[in-house]
């Protein structure tokens, strides 16, 4: 059987296999759709490789709203197919595919008048519930009066909000979920290598037979041969199509989504809140002891690698949220800001991004080459299935159908039973029950691997920071099992310390490097370089944030 571990030894073996083996399918891109495609192909019994130029989920797949949802806004666009599809995927994730990672979360839809709005919104949410079919992993919506609203969400303005409708969607740590899909793909035989960049295509006549890639760690050039090359590049699709001298049947329009992170004390509510805005919707999302508030939906044409929020983005979020909140949230409460880019499939470059469909497109611009773009995080599995269905045709042989609808991610097996055993696990491990619950909701049944690390080294049971929930064993595990290769990988994606800690985790960078350094075989120089690289990254983000917030403060003073 194959191992799900992603670590330095695994990567060394992967690099060797990429240069010496030939594959049925080569996937370019380590976002959620790419790793989903690798899992879909590997679980069909195909010989699969995946390369990613940065870290798993380094781009859009770590910068979402952290929601698994059907998309209420798409009901108003009459996109019932997309909503039904997304709700089906949500139910699968919560109930069987990844219940350790995807959790139900309640939202309030505040109402400002008693009859007409309640009838309209209630009908929409009834349709939202009905479209999910007969599966019932999440409760039905329910109507709430003003008295209950005052108890559930004291921060909602009592002079404006007359009641609400509560409904349920689901929440996920997107970067962790993406990485877990990659580990599941590895568990089923996929060869996975990060920090490997596709430079050009290998051709035999008009047929694509693989890629010439560069190992960004060693600088070595590798020829990777495959019968079908599948590109899942998201916002990088247009650039890679151009680099590969291919003419796709679609273009990708980028839409920027910005979120702000606030302390838990900023908003008093026992549920999330969703607000309809003039152009979209705004979510106020509970995230442990923080709030994530967003998002925006604006056209973007800037740097794909480091999208930053503008002062207009942040002001828009504050203005929309403050329509219903008391006391109002303010600039000085913001802990962090992050921006992600949605890849929206477009035929007309002048289309407004708010009106473009979130449905995906599969394209075959050349023999042996297939790509997919568009879609939304929630429907990653369907996108992956569709692109592999098309790639299989390139193999010119009958191959099995997709089984990912029935394939739980690693850690899901036995999760529900372990949840019933929290107290016993706490007693036998010496950890408190809160920490055990935290670990179960990040690793599921793979908690045993974390506990084994602690048995070998009891010092790893200590928290990395008293103010955070992460223990040192998780930091070690990020490098030994989850493919983390830098301090940034650990702080930004294997944990979410980058936006959960006040200083973006800079004060923990040294401690993180000390834990992962031996696992990664670092010299003192390499360890210091990784710390410095993270500090410089945060400096760039803080400089942009400081300029952003200073401008907003000045505007607030002058207004």
pLDDT at 139: 81
Asked if residue 357 has pLDDT above 60, the reply is no
Rg of the chain on CA atoms, in Å: 23
Fold of 8-61+176-250+356-406: FAD/NAD(P)-binding domain (3.50.50)
Dist CA 155 CA 327 (whole Å): 7
DSSP state of 462: S
- What is the residue extent of each domain of the chain? 8-61+176-250+356-406, 100-171+253-353, 415-543
pLDDT at 356: 44
Confidence of residue 543 (pLDDT cuts 50, 70, 90): confident
Tokens 């295509």 identify what position? 201
Buried b (16+ CB within 10 A) or exposed e, 249-286: ebbbbbbbbbbbbbeeebbebebbbbbebebbbbbbbb
Mean pLDDT over 49-58 rounds to: 97
The strand pairing partners of 299, in sequence order, are: 255
Confidence of residue 191 (pLDDT cuts 50, 70, 90): very high
The three-class DSSP label of residue 294 is strand
Of 72, 493, 541, 55, nearest in space to 339 by CA: 541
Write down how long the chain is.
559
For the four alpha carbons of 73, 337, 315 and 151, in that order, the dihedral sign comes to positive
Instruction: Give the tens place of pLDDT for each residue, 162-176.
Output: 899 999 999 999 999
CA 257 to chain centre: 13
100-171+253-353 maps to CATH 3.30.9.10: yes
Buried b (16+ CB within 10 A) or exposed e, 303-342: ebeebbbbbebbbbbbebbeebbeeebebebbbbbbbbbb
Confidence of residue 550 (pLDDT cuts 50, 70, 90): low
Confidence of residue 559 (pLDDT cuts 50, 70, 90): very low
- The CATH architecture annotation of domain 415-543 reads Orthogonal Bundle (1.10)
Query: Could you give the C-alpha distances from 196 to 15, 56, 199, 215, 374, in angstroms and in order?
Result: 9, 11, 9, 5, 23
- Encoded tokens for 526: 């390499």
The whole-model pTM stands at 0.94
Instruction: Give the tens place of pLDDT for each residue, 503-513.
Output: 899 999 999 99
Q: How many CB atoms lie within 10 A of CB 359?
A: 18
């Amino acid at each position: 059987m194959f191992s799900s571990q992603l670590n330095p030894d695994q990567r060394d073996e992967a690099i060797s296999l990429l240069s010496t083996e030939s594959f049925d399918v080569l996937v370019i891109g380590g976002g959620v759709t790419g790793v989903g495609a690798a899992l879909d192909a590997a679980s069909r019994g195909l010989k699969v490789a995946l390369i990613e130029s940065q870290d798993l989920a380094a781009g859009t797949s770590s910068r979402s709203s952290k929601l698994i949802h059907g998309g209420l806004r798409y009901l108003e666009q009459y996109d019932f197919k997309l909503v039904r599809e997304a709700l089906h995927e949500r139910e699968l994730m919560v109930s069987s595919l990844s219940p350790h990672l995807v959790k139900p979360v309640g939202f309030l839809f505040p109402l400002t008048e008693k009859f007409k709005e309640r009838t309209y919104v209630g009908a929409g949410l009834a349709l939202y519930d009905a479209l999910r079919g007969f599966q019932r992993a999440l409760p039905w919506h329910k109507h709430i009066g003003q008295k209950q609203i005052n108890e559930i969400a004291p921060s909602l303005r009592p002079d404006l909000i007359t009641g609400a409708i509560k409904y349920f969607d689901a929440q996920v740590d997107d970067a962790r979920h993406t990485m877990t899909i990659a580990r599941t793909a590895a568990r089923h035989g996929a060869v996975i290598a990060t920090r490997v960049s596709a430079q050009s295509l290998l051709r035999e006549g008009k047929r694509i037979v693989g890629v010439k890639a560069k190992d960004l760690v060693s600088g070595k050039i590798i020829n990777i041969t495959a019968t079908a090359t599948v590109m899942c590049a998201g916002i990088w699709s247009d650039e890679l199509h151009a680099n590969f001298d291919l003419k796709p049947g679609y273009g990708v329009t980028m839409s920027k989504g910005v979120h702000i992170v606030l302390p838990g004390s900023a908003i008093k509510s026992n549920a999330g809140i969703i607000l309809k805005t003039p152009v979209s919707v705004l979510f106020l999302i509970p995230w442990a002891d923080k709030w994530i508030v967003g998002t925006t939906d604006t056209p973007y044409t800037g740097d794909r690698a480091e999208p930053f929020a503008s002062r207009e983005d942040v002001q828009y979020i504050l203005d929309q949220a403050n329509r219903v909140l008391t006391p109002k949230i303010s600039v000085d409460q913001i802990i962090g800001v992050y921006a992600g880019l949605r890849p929206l499939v477009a035929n007309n470059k002048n289309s407004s991004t708010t009106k473009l469909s979130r449905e995906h497109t599969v394209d075959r611009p050349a023999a042996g080459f297939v790509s997919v773009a568009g879609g939304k995080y929630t429907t990653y599995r369907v996108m992956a299935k569709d692109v592999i269905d098309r790639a299989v045709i390139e193999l010119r042989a009958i191959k099995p159908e997709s089984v990912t609808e029935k394939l739980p991610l690693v850690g899901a097996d036995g999760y529900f039973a372990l949840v019933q055993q929290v107290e016993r696990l706490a007693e036998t491990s010496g950890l408190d029950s809160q920490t055990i619950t935290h670990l179960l909701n990040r690793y599921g049944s793979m908690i045993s691997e974390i506990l084994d690390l602690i048995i070998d080294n009891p010092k790893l049971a200590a928290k990395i920071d008293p103010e955070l929930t992460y223990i040192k064993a998780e930091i070690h595990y990020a490098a030994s099992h989850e493919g983390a290769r830098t301090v940034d990988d650990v702080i930004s994606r294997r944990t979410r310390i980058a936006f959960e800690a006040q200083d973006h985790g800079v004060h923990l960078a040294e401690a993180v490097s000390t834990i992962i350094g031996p696992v990664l075989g670092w010299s003192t120089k390499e360890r210091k370089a990784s710390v410095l690289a993270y500090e410089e990254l945060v400096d760039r983000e803080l400089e942009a944030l400081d300029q952003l917030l200073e401008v907003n403060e000045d505007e607030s003073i002058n207004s």
